[in-house]
Chains A and B, each alone.
Chain A
Amino acid sequence: MSTLHTVNKPGQAVELCVRAVASGDSVLLIEDAVYELMSPASRVNALPDGCPVYVMDIDARARGVAVSAPFEAVNYDRFVSLCVDSAKVLSWF
């Protein structure tokens, strides 16, 4: 089973997350990590093909960051479901 990686800030946390992701894993951006969506050069774009990237909806809204495809906005219920559906959860911060 795959791993869910949560990331809570831009910079090193994202970089290390990208390095640890295996194909089939998924990534959830929370808190300040949602700012990654604003950067065309974001390392999030370096993830392996087919790794879904989710974005915590309230964190993006709180910061005035728009979420559009291929990113998917999620709520906390979905966060819990993503944890259930993954074998483990790694948290990069």
Chain B
Amino acid sequence: MKFALAVYGAPANSQAPQSALHFARAVVAQGHEIVRLFFYLDGVNTATAIAQPPQDESNLPEQWQQFVQSHNLDAVVCIAAALRRGVVDQTESDRYDLPGHNLRKGYELSGLGQLLDGALMADRLITFGA
């Protein structure tokens, strides 16, 4: 079965990205397919490369990136939501003349249409809200 997952909460203010990761691992372990991950609202903070949680706490952005890369998943971060919250790639950083960029490798900034596409392409859309 095809799943699309939407994540709307940030690691520091909700359990959403942690729950979504547990769920995504179980989806893959059961042999189902994740056709799209979509990070929206505060969920875009899951894709930042410059959060550094204390060493005795789990590093969710890193764990998510490893999961995305090891399963070669289509992981989209909503570009409008990300720009608003300070998550940018090299292209956007150059476009707006920002002092740096922090989108982790493995993620793509794209439009909200990708959430719709993902939901229509999948058999199930599961949302992890905050």
Contacts and interface: CB of A to CB of B under 8 A. Distances in A.
A31 B126 contact: no
B90 interface: no
Interface in B70-96: none
B30 A83 contact: no
A88 interface: yes
Contacts of B29: 77
B15 A80 contact: no
A31 to B, nearest CB: 5
**What is the predominant secondary structure among interface residues of chain B facing chain A?**
mixed
A89 B126 contact: yes
A80 B23 CA distance: 7
A75 B26 CA distance: 9
A77 B30 contact: yes
B32 interface: yes
Interface string A7-34: 0100000000000000000000011100
Contacts of B129: 8, 91-93
Nearest to A91: B127
B23 A8 contact: no
B25 A76 contact: yes
B124 A31 contact: no
A80 B30 contact: yes
Interface of B: 1, 3, 8-9, 15-16, 19, 22-23, 25-27, 29-30, 32, 124-130
Interface of A: 6, 8, 30-32, 56, 58-59, 75-77, 79-81, 83-84, 86, 88-89, 91-93
15 contacts: A8-B16, A8-B19, A56-B19, A59-B15, A75-B26, A76-B23, A77-B29, A80-B32, A83-B124, A83-B126, A84-B1, A89-B125, A91-B127, A91-B128, A93-B130
